[in-house]
Structure 1
């Protein structure tokens, strides 16, 4: 049976409906509405997830206001039912339910939800909700991994369907069976036998054997030979054109070979990808800047490795890819360094080496507004003041003084890139509908 996370929040005491089942129906209807919004606008997945996972999110956050507006459509007096007017905990529960409903239907939303939730929950103080989120993330992550398995796995056997070719129906050439003109042949035989037949005829009678025979033999032979030649001429048929069937057969064989090669290529793509990643991890060489990661500062290398790995793997990748990245970063020198989050973000927004990252971030994410991904802050460095620690905390949900090591920093950026690309089918606009 499909789990309903609104009920799970109630069971854990995170939200309280005072035992009123009619209120639960209103929450369910609102979650269904927001789920439809997500499916129409997948890019909202990241903001919805970040807000749903943040117990201390401001009631003025645009996503909270959007959820409140959706709830009012089903519950006009909701503001009067709760102190403060805005039931943030209730709205966050609705958002999670909407996210899970959408993720169950759309793989792209599932990818964005899982990656964003993994990032957000690592810095969220939500102990009372941790079990609910663990269950939700585990369910959707299992779905994502199942999808990724089809793109990463290498089958034990490659099966190619048999060649399908149906020869065109042959057209029988109708030939009229030739018949010897017996009357004409008899007349010629009679002329060869002696005088009295048609002209020319044998002028000798049979009682003149030498002369008769000399005349009879060639005339009789000509008569029979001519009859045979006439029959043979009528039996000769026109040449048969087989270029059409041969051309069709050649196309069928070519198509069959193409399908076989495609099957082989698809079946071995996962193996090739894994092999390339192992080579990349061992070489520690950046294909984008043509430089060894070992020659770069640890945090610069970590960010660049996140970008390079993102460009090597598809959106539907197993959760183990993030762990793979962490281990690759930990193999760098001085990987035990730690830096404050605010300093790392400042470097990402200003340093020259992060310019390719900033360019991609601007393509993937909208300008920052309310709780949102770091990609928005990185891709639009002039649009938000991160020197204001309160504003930075409100936007990112991460304490500006919180320290990260290179592996944590790289994994965070990688998950954001994966989330953003998964929902990139919708063109981001700086003024999205709220």
Structure 2
């Protein structure tokens, strides 16, 4: 085997007094794609950050890490690396210039276009002049990867890079990762995605590396019946500046049903969810419980509790200064009027049901993985006891066992409350097993429902 481009020896990690990882060693050579999987919270991101020479807040790491060349790192919450105040073209142009030195304007544009093609974008002028908020979650992940590739790293450490991508975009990205490896790059990829073709596959469990294959589990059959209409969009259109992202959309949700939403990245799936949650100004009408509802900032506590939304980039929704348990419990205090002690007890039970330990719930957000924070965000929404629960890629980045656990938890909540669930996902297999009907969104319109 060739000389390793990334080498980690004897990695041990602690979060406070808790041992996360013990004596972990791995290497990645030029031309390799090494995948790293394991349950949420087991320490995969800690290993990835150590490989990239980065420190994780709240985690103490001891290891011998050798990576003599340039290492590019794409975090799990990749979209947060984008500057919301800068146009895409300007940000990429600056990064290209840092790598290649003095370039003419035309040379810089050609290099930006080349980088965008690597992540399945065409560098049209309209795209280059847009801001990050004008893209879908999956598109922002690809743009974040473009920023990493702009500096031409010899090694890449990618944490769940296929998160939120539709099948076409994912296939294009995986081809490009293979091409990068064929060109001599070394890739360490944290992923639960079986479509990532690996040279070698490693699995973390109980703080150590093993060759144990990931568990597989089949979803339980659904038995919930549909009831009365609980939410509705009538003739809804959404514009961001001059760009139309939704056009004349009609959608009804009924008590007790699960509706799956599918479509390419950028089709308008997340915008549809934001309309129901009151996070996007609309033309048209939004109804909940049979009554028109305003934007979220103008909704009453009852209206806010009625529709809850768990979005893709959940980590950014937590206050870094407070424990996760306190923030989850605060929802029941604010929206349901529970006493703090009762809310804390209920929050702890829901978090444990979603696979988080008492110790993990007592940490601040920086002490949890992206998958753990995603489940904490779901627990926070459940504490509101919503009649409509919207989940945008809620199982993305989870191993198969945890994904089934989360979906089973949603099923149990629905059986108990007859809530309507709107599940946005690129996992068509999971939607086929769980959803009562599927809504397809393309180019800002609902093109199929059944």
The answer to whether the superposition gives a TM-score over 0.5 is no
Structure with more of its chain in helix, by fraction: 1
Normalised-by-shorter TM-score class: under 0.3
- TM-score, length-scaled by structure 1: 0.23
Structure 1 or 2: more strand by fraction: 2
Normalised by the length of structure 2, the TM-score is: 0.22
Structure exhibiting the larger radius of gyration computed from Cα positions: 1
